[in-house]
Amino acid sequence: MQTEKEMANDIIRRSGVNPLKCMKCGKCSGTCPAYEDMDYHPHQFVSMVQKGRINELLQSKSIWTCLSCFACIERCPRSVEPAKIIEAVRLELIRRQGCNHLKSDAIPELLDDKLPQQAIVSAFRKYSK
Amino acid sequence: MPVKTTENGEFKPLIVAFCCNWCSYAGADLAGTSRLSYPADVKIIRVPCSCRVNPLFILRAFQRGADGVIICGCHPGDCHYTTGNYYARRRMTLLFSMLDYLGIERKRTRVEWVSAAEGVRFSEVMNDFAKHITELGENKKLEDLRCKKSLD
Amino acid sequence: MHRIGVFVCWCGTNIAATVDVKAVAEAARKEPGVVFATDYQYMCSEAGQALIRQAIKDNALTGVVICSCSPRMHEATFRKTVQAAGLNPYMLEIANIREQCSWIHKDIKEGTEKAIILARTAIAKVMLNKPLTAGESAVTKRALVIGGGIAGIQSALDIAEAGYEVDIVEKQPTIGGKMTQIDKTFPTLDCAACILTPKMVDAAQNEKIKIFSYSQVEEVKGFVGSFKAKIRKKARFVDENLCTGCGDCTSKCPSKKNKNEFNLGLDNRPAIYIPFAQAVPKVAVIDAEACIKKKTGKCGLCEKVCSAGAIKYDQQDEIIEREYGAIVVATGFNPIKLDKYDEYAYSQSPDVVTSLELERLMNAAGPTQGTLLRPSDGTHPHTIVFIQCVGSRCDDARGKSYCSKICCMYTAKHAMLIREKYPDTDVHVFYIDVRTPGKNFDEFYRRAVEQYGVDYIKGMVGKVIPHDGKLLVQGSDLISNEQVKIDADMVVLAAAIEPDPTARSVATMLTASIDTNDFFTEAHPKLRPVESPTAGVFLSGVCQGPKDIPETVAQASACAAKVIGLLAKDKLLSNPCVARADESLCSGCSVCQNVCPYGAITYEDREFRIPGPKRSEIRRVAQVNEAVCQGCGACTVACPSGAMDLKGFSTKQIMAEVDAICR
């Protein structure tokens, strides 16, 4: 069993993000459209991964509510790319349990004509195989 | 000829470094002031600018038994004499392709840009270069045996 | 016959701890040509220098090698020492056994071996040294200041005060720079115009100062003490000597809808205009692109109303050539363009303004006569959001990696002034960090919070959405960990500052170096902060790095002190380590002339004696102007016949060093 610290290092490596570059301005959370539905917010992901608090993040609903819209990546002044960190935490869970937040059969029912293409693509980030 | 082995028989290369007075020589001084070590095999020759380095000097060093030669100048655009490092870069590119033709390993020569503020970089560059030269082993290709005899 | 003396310094334990100095002296003594070798604790001390002088006299030394610290440290010191003992100062070489040996190697055996090789190398070189004499060059007792903002004005005033002539070249029609556009200054809140305009008038009235406004430096040649500059005086189409600045022409001009640069495009100006009431020189200028007469040939109203007869539609650009001893760079800054920051809706709503635009909106001489009104509908804003660090501290391609330094303070100033004048206005400031080091600066910021009730929110704004004439500001409040949404009437962006776009071309023209952000590099970050590495070029104000007004003025005066020190000299000693062409070897091919960055090489026809019936022939050979040559050595390598050599770093000397290292 991995320690939290080891998991954090894995997540950092997998995401290719250096959380130490963050200057804690909060622009990611300021721009996030899914903010209200999150228990942990994008800026917290960056700082908690840096501090090695992974178990809390694995249990958070934020990893599923993140839209993967990449607004935080687009606007981060330090090129920290919070969405990639969230994605890496999500992968930790998907890989470990093989569990999916979405069932592939359920996706057609959820489809809505007005849904932006990116949202559909993003949904597959919450589904392994 | 220089002694190229340590007491326990390991290969100890001879490296000549040409450093421009304004950037790299000052960078080497900063590495010293910051106590950043690099192998004692590296011996520095001060030149006013990297463009003062005649390809002849490099060939002469190889002829006399040097195993590696490195030229350090200011970063492109930062030359004290405006364009000197560009001349150095072009001349050395030509020389290196000639060395290729002669069968000298490409890694024995190198051009690096080190500014006066980059003591850390200077020591890193020298450590890395010395490592590569040690791996390559002794330079035999260009060594002039007549030089060896006359001195022995 | 060489008689070399070698002096090995212990530098206390700095060298002696890792280098066996006695062994180095012993080994040096055995080198051919060496007649004297010794070691001493501190060679640079008075006693050490006396020891060197005595040894030179006692042993009739012809050359000296000092094994000590870097030549960049004490070469000048020891040159003076050997000169005092009657030796040519250039018959000296320094073996750097401290920075490049004892300080980086731990093993005493390794250190000693290397020190011996370095000493041997210096001995090999000094044997080939030739006595050199530094040439002298005259100093033109006049300074050129590029840029007429507060930095340039202050430097010029201080230089003029010392009795030297100064020319200010300013590209705008008036001097004064950015400070003229500022309303109040922190932390005292005194009005910028009240402290700046008297200085502008002083500069104009000082008989030592000549102002070239609406002009640009086109070309600079030469070197310290003797620069030659070409200044382009752009056509104003108004005779500067006749215009009285009455303003009759500006009120009559029919072409009125032109963006007013002084008010950052927030209102309009006529085609003939005076930038602002206190402009220096107070002379009108015609914007040729807007002038109906210049475009169609019909109109000429301004000429009719000008009682002084100052309007000259056919005026041409003028090129002025002047000589200078020193050059001050004071090219200043600009706020960055915000087109890459569309999340703040700067291009979508006129109510999103930059801080400099807000200065104009609050200035009595601005477009709203000092009443803060929304640019969109002219109503009073009741909720204003300030966003800090727009483009500063960004490591992506959109912004600047540095902190612009002045934004925290001017935002506190704006917030405070708004709350004071309009207490019914809510002011929110989104910040990442509040950086207020400086005398009375933090107290000023705390006053904004405690006394004026400005709401500081730790966090950044993610986006600004214009809707129904308002601006929805969505940002994060990191302290309470929530996303805040504010319905604002106005948004003010603290845009990062960047060096003026002319900085790069000025740097190239002066061969002064600039960093990756286009700020000018200083000769030493701590000990020579107002000099550029290029001799005779000095730095004043924001062109060297972000600064507020007090720092700019302090630096401008420091810069002036350096210029005065240079201009006070009658003669400058030049570097004698310059190139020399051997006429007997030169084939006149011109390769060296093409690589010389200074244009120091010219060609001359010379008569040479040759064997045979002709007895002589005329050949074209290279000549080096020693006063212009800076001694880089580019020509020495380019020369195909080996005729070019560099004194002090000759091919033979460097070859000897290579041989000594590889022995």
Residue A43: CATH number of its domain: 1.10.1060
The amino acid sitting at C352 is: V
Chains that touch B (3 or more CB pairs under 8 A): C
CA A19 from chain centre, in angstroms, equals 14
The two beta strands, C490-495 and C352-354, are: parallel
H-state helical runs in C162-240: 192-205
Burial of C298 (0-12, 13-18, 19+ CB in 10 A): exposed
The answer to whether residue A25 neighbours chain C at the CB level (below 8 Å) is: yes
Asked if the peptide bond before residue C187 counts as cis, ω within 30 degrees of 0, the response is yes
Tell me if B22 sits within 8 A of B74, measured CB to CB. Answer: yes
Nearest by CB to C399, which of A41, A44, A77? A77
State the pLDDT at residue B76. 85
Tell me if C531 sits within 8 A of C523, measured CB to CB. Answer: yes
State the pLDDT at residue C292. 95
- How far is Cα C224 from Cα C326, in angstroms, rounded to an integer? 6
Of A97-111, B12-26, B78-92, C124-138, minimum mean pLDDT range: A97-111
Strand partners, C353: C492
| Residue contact A32–C462, C-beta within 8 A | yes
Mean pLDDT, chain B, integer: 89
- Is the dihedral angle over the CA atoms C346, C350, C355, C357 positive or is it negative? positive
Nearest by CB to C637, which of B40, B51, B64? B51
CA A48 from chain centre, in angstroms, equals 12
- Tell me which CATH homologous superfamily contains domain C335-498: FAD/NAD(P)-binding domain (3.50.50.60)
What are the tens digits of pLDDT across the range A21-57?
Answer: 999 999 999 999 999 999 999 999 999 999 999 999 9
State the pLDDT at residue B152. 46
Written as one string, the DSSP assignment of A75-126 is H-TT---HHHHHHHHHHHHHHHH---SS-GGGHHHH--TTS-HHHHHHHGGG
Tell me if C5 sits within 8 A of C66, measured CB to CB. Answer: no
Collapsing DSSP to helix, strand or coil, C71 comes out as helix
Q: Which domain holds residue A11?
A: 4-126
State the pLDDT at residue C121. 97
Nearest by CB to B35, which of C100, C103, C658? C103
Q: Which helix (H) or strand (E) holds C573?
A: strand C571-573
- How far is Cα C79 from Cα C72, in angstroms, rounded to an integer? 12
User: How far off is chain C from B104, nearest CA to CA, in Å?
Assistant: 18
The amino acid sitting at B102 is: L
Nearest by CB to A31, which of C398, C462, C481? C462
Written as one string, the DSSP assignment of C102-169 is ITT---HHHHHHHHHHHHHHHHHHHTT-------EEE--SEEEEE--SHHHHHHHHHHHHTT-EEEEE
Contacts of B21 in chain C (CB under 8 A): 72
What are the tens digits of pLDDT across the range B108-146?
Answer: 999 999 988 889 999 999 999 999 999 999 888 887 777
Q: Which domain holds residue B132?
A: 15-151
Nearest by CB to C393, which of A23, A31, A41? A23
Pick the more confident residue, A121 or C113. Answer: C113
| Residue contact B66–C661, C-beta within 8 A | yes
Asked if the peptide bond before residue C281 counts as cis, ω within 30 degrees of 0, the response is yes
State the pLDDT at residue C574. 84
DSSP C479: T
The answer to whether residue B108 neighbours chain C at the CB level (below 8 Å) is: no
Say how many domains are in chain A. 1
Burial of B135 (0-12, 13-18, 19+ CB in 10 A): exposed
Strand residues in C203-292 grouped as ranges (E)? 209-212, 215-223, 226-233, 258-259, 268-269, 272-273, 285-286
State the pLDDT at residue A97. 64
In a domain, B100, yes or no: yes
The domain defined by C4-126 carries CATH number 3.40.50.920: yes
State the pLDDT at residue B1. 57
Overall average pLDDT of the A77-98 stretch: 87
Write the CA distances from C348 to A78, C352, C374, integer angstroms.
25, 8, 14
Overall average pLDDT of the B27-31 stretch: 93
Written as one string, the DSSP assignment of chain B is ----B-TTS-B---EEEEEETTTHHHHHHHHHHTT----TTEEEEEESSGGG--HHHHHHHHHTT-SEEEEEEPPTT--TTSSHHHHHHHHHHHHHHHHHHHT--GGGEEEEE--TT-HHHHHHHHHHHHHHHHHH----SS--HHHHHHH-
Overall average pLDDT of the B6-27 stretch: 90
Question: Looking at this predicted complex, what is its ipTM?
Answer: 0.95
Q: Which helix (H) or strand (E) holds C385?
A: strand C383-390
The answer to whether residue B25 neighbours chain C at the CB level (below 8 Å) is: yes
- How far is Cα C591 from Cα C593, in angstroms, rounded to an integer? 5
> Which fold is adopted by the domain C579-647?
Alpha-Beta Plaits (3.30.70)
Q: What are the per-10-residue average pLDDT scores of chain C (663 residues)?
A: 94 94 96 95 95 96 96 92 95 96 94 96 96 91 97 98 97 96 94 94 96 96 91 96 94 94 95 95 95 93 94 96 97 95 94 97 93 95 97 92 96 96 96 95 96 96 95 96 96 97 91 85 83 91 96 97 97 91 93 89 90 89 88 94 95 96 90
Write the CA distances from C397 to A78, A79, C341, integer angstroms.
10, 10, 12
The amino acid sitting at C47 is: A
Collapsing DSSP to helix, strand or coil, C541 comes out as helix
Tell me if C3 sits within 8 A of C35, measured CB to CB. Answer: yes
Beta-carbon contacts of residue B124 (< 8 Å; ≥ 6 apart)? none
The two beta strands, B109-113 and C4-9, are: unpaired
- Tell me which CATH homologous superfamily contains domain C153-227+321-332+502-567: FAD/NAD(P)-binding domain (3.50.50.60)
State the pLDDT at residue B151. 47
Residues of chain C with CATH 3.50.50.60: 153-227+321-332+502-567, 335-498
Residue of chain C with shortest Cα separation from A35 = C483
Beta-carbon contacts of residue B60 (< 8 Å; ≥ 6 apart)? C655, C658, C659
The answer to whether residue A65 neighbours chain C at the CB level (below 8 Å) is: no
Contacts of C658 in chain B (CB under 8 A): 16, 45, 57, 60-61, 64, 66
Instruction: Tell me the CATH number at B51.
Output: 3.40.50
Q: In the numeric block, which tokens belong to residue C92?
A: 């000296």
| Residue contact A30–C432, C-beta within 8 A | no
Only one residue has tokens 């060679």, namely C43
- How far is Cα A30 from Cα B53, in angstroms, rounded to an integer? 56
Query: For chain B, what is the radius of gyration of the CA atoms?
Result: 15
Q: Measured in Å, how far apart are chain C's first and last C-alpha atoms?
A: 23
The answer to whether residue C461 neighbours chain A at the CB level (below 8 Å) is: yes
- How far is Cα C510 from Cα C418, in angstroms, rounded to an integer? 44
Say how many domains are in chain B. 1
What are the tens digits of pLDDT across the range B65-93?
Answer: 899 999 999 988 778 887 899 999 999 99
- How far is Cα B83 from Cα C463, in angstroms, rounded to an integer? 45
In a domain, B7, yes or no: no
Sheet holding C318-324, edge to edge: C215-223, C226-233, C318-324
- How far is Cα B122 from Cα C172, in angstroms, rounded to an integer? 44
